[in-house]
Amino acid sequence: MIPNSLDPVTASYHRCMHGGGFVDSFYETLMASSSEVASKFRHTDFPHQKLMLRESLLVMILFSQGQSHVREEIEQLAVRHDRDHLDIPPPMYELWINALCRAVREHDPKFTPEVEQQWRDAMQPGIDLMKSHY
């Protein structure tokens, strides 16, 4: 059961994770969005990657709530994704957020356009920080 005291995005995150398949749906959509994106995942350890996504989403939610103690974690993610490492260019983040919102739409039984906008708003500070390190 999800506590009523959670913010809307955290509550949606837990609803998405509760039913299973959310992370798989996200990656299927993301990799289908572009051959360039799919090529970035060529040598990916998906069991590990899926755990990292779950953790990263929570960190990004906390960051959007002003929890400054997680900034360092996002900056570490940003360095891992910068041009000298995984080379994830800024335009790919639009594909990422679109894939995320599609997965939320599929897996959150309380999905509404407002929930989607809340997710987009919550992810934007982390995305902006990631892009700034490219």
Question: How far, in Å, are 1, 58, 67, 131 from residue 11 at the CA level?
Answer: 10, 11, 17, 26
| Degrees, nearest 5: CA angle 4-109-116 | 85
pLDDT of 19: 83
The answer to whether 98 touches 21, Cβ cutoff 8 Å, is: no
For the cut 60, the answer to whether the pLDDT of residue 3 exceeds it is: no
**Could you give the percent of the chain with pLDDT greater than 70?**
96
Sign of CA dihedral 122, 25, 15, 57: negative
One-character DSSP codes across 2-48: --TTS-HHHHHHHHHHHHS-HHHHHHHHHHHT-HHHHHHTTT--HHH
pTM here is 0.93
Average pLDDT, the chain: 95
The pLDDT confidence band at residue 126, using thresholds 50, 70 and 90, is very high
The answer to whether 86 touches 63, Cβ cutoff 8 Å, is: no
Taking the alpha carbons at both ends of the chain, their separation in whole angstroms is 39
Question: How far, in Å, are 10, 89, 99, 110, 119 from residue 31 at the CA level?
Answer: 25, 15, 9, 25, 20
22: Cβ contacts below 8 Å, ≥ 6 apart: 16, 103, 104, 106, 107
**Tens digits of residue pLDDT in 35-88:** 999 999 999 999 999 999 999 999 999 999 999 999 999 999 999 999 999 999
